[in-house]
Amino acid sequence: MFDRNIRRLVGAAGAIAVAAGFAVTVGAGVADAASNSVTWTDGNSKFTRTISNVNPRAGDTITSTTRFERTSSVMEFIYWVKDWHPTCLTPLSARVGSNPNGYDSFESYGIDSNGKNGDWTKLDGNLTKWSVNSPTLSGRPTYPSHRTFEITYKVEAKCDRDVPLDTGMSYKGSLGSGTYKTKGPAITVQKDQPVISLSAAADVPFTQSATLTATVTDSAEVDKIDFYDGTTKIGTGPLNNKGVATFDWTPDTPGQHSLTAKYVGNSRAEPSESSAQTVQVSDAEITTVLTGPEAADIGSESTFTAQMSPVPSGGTVQFKDGAANMGDPVPVDADGKANITRTFDSQGTHTIIAEYSGTDGFARSTSDGLPVPVSEAETTVMLTPPASAARGAAVDLVAQITPAIGGGVVQFKDGDTDLGSPVLVGADGKASTTHTFRSAGDHEITAVYSGTLGHRGSTSGPVTITVTDDGGTGSPGNIFGS
């Protein structure tokens, strides 16, 4: 009875024991996993509470242990023990230990109840189940000299970080009761330390998109990941429910790129950065497609167009007729095109190709050969007859060459007989002569064009001119050539 009265007088003022030097703390710094203990006395009872790791992280398991000892010869029976803890701890299992034979031993024990608010876990005994003797009696050791209550918890992600969270205990025994809800040791849940791994293709063609994938482990607090090319932030990807963030990256320069994935951190998780991944951005492959006429005439202009895909940022195209350059290189425009106009001076099949020079980030490229058959252009001759003809009177004969090209000659004929010498064709495509018919009757007149470089010769259709003796009007007949 004396012991119980002492317990009640002192129990409400347990802090006095700590101030008097009975609290003992053992452990490492905040950043490391550390076991801490606090010891105090209340009347003739000595209590030691130990937390296996006072600096846990979310997902860890920790153990809270309360050890009862007596400092007097009066034995006490423990009826129940409540372990007070942060509501973010989930109790997993319990054990009760003692040293009935002088050796410590533990037995698993069922958790009897938990606090309505989730802030305590209770183990119930009975009137005689859990005894605690004084360490010695008449100079001899007695057993059990202590009783230990151990509860294992899981640290949940909802715990506040970097804030001391109180722990403690309360109990009821045969000599009284005690309540020490915040006696300690306090638990400080550390910020998560996310681990980020980054995956990316080792080689990426310039201008093409590549998916960067960041996978986050060891934290449920990360919501997004920033992706970097060297020191330049290139984008952000939200984290999905599998802890993965992605970003589609299109390189802006060729060469080597050092890519990382970073998390900036928040009140519940530390900043983190992946290892750098080196990605080689190679020159983009270019396809050059050449288009032009299916056929061409000598002396006529033909236009050829080279289209580069994807569109490069510069460079030139050298057009070639076989192995011979067709003029100077042509700059590629903003649409990825280059054009050239060529006039062929020889007939036959000409194979045209386009060679793209390449530029920063874009590879060289050569088109397929484009065969172009080149031939002489067709011509037609139209003969214009006089309105009338009379024997012995001079008349004008005019031949029009189409297309209207200069060069070549026209031989006017009366049947198979040449009417004078060949006549040069002027720049307007015309040739004319003056002729005096010596006989009356029908005369079949034609104009035979010799052709010139790139243009075939041709003959007009026959024109029948009726020549009269009396100066009458002749009939013009068919005036169109062939």
Q: Which CATH superfamily is domain 380-467 in?
A: Immunoglobulins (2.60.40.10)
pLDDT at 11 over 90: no
Which residue type is seen at 129?
K
Q: Are strands 120-124 and 113-114 parallel, antiparallel or unpaired?
A: antiparallel
Determine the topology of domain 2-188 in CATH. Immunoglobulin-like (2.60.40)
The single-letter DSSP state of residue 468 is B
Q: What is the pLDDT of residue 453?
A: 80
* Average pLDDT along the chain: 87
For residue 71, is pLDDT > 90? no
Spell out the residues 6+ positions from residue 207 whose beta carbon is closer than 8 angstroms to its own.
250, 251, 284, 310, 361
* CA–CA distances in Å: residue 302 to residues 248, 294, 440: 44, 10, 51
Do 195-282 and 380-467 fold alike per CATH? Answer: yes
Beta bridge partners of 42: 45
- Express each pLDDT in 290-299 by its tens digit: 999 999 988 8
CATH H-level, domain 287-375: superfamily: Immunoglobulins (2.60.40.10)
Mean local confidence (pLDDT), 91-102 = 86
Q: Which has more pLDDT, 474 or 152? A: 152
pLDDT at residue number 141: 64
Neighbours of 274 (CB within 10 A): 22
- The whole-number pLDDT of residue 4 equals 33
The top-level CATH class assigned to 195-282 is mainly beta
> Within the chain, what is the greatest distance between any pair of CA atoms?
178
Q: H/E/C letters for each residue in 95-159? A: EEEECCCCCCEEEEECCCEECCCCCEEEEECCCCCEEECCCEECCEECCCCEEEEEEEEEECCCC
Percent of the chain that is helix, strand, coil (3-state, to 5): 5, 50, 45
Strand duo 146-155 + 164-165: pairing: unpaired
* Region 434-443 average pLDDT: 92
Sequential DSSP letters for 299-310: TSEEEEEEEEES
Q: What is the model's pTM? A: 0.59
CB 378 within 8 A of CB 458: yes
CB atoms within 10 A of CB 333: 12
pLDDT in tens, 267-316: 899 999 999 999 999 998 999 999 999 999 888 899 999 999 999 989 99
Cα–Cα distance between 85 and 121 in angstroms, integer?
8
Question: How far apart, in Å, are the Cα atoms of 440 and each of 211, 287, 392, 473?
Answer: 95, 73, 9, 12
% of the chain surpassing 70 pLDDT: 88
The domain ranges of the chain are 2-188, 195-282, 287-375, 380-467
pLDDT band at 103 (very low <50, low <70, confident <90, very high): low
pLDDT tier at 361 (50, 70, 90 boundaries)?
Answer: confident
| Residue 241 per-residue DSSP state | T
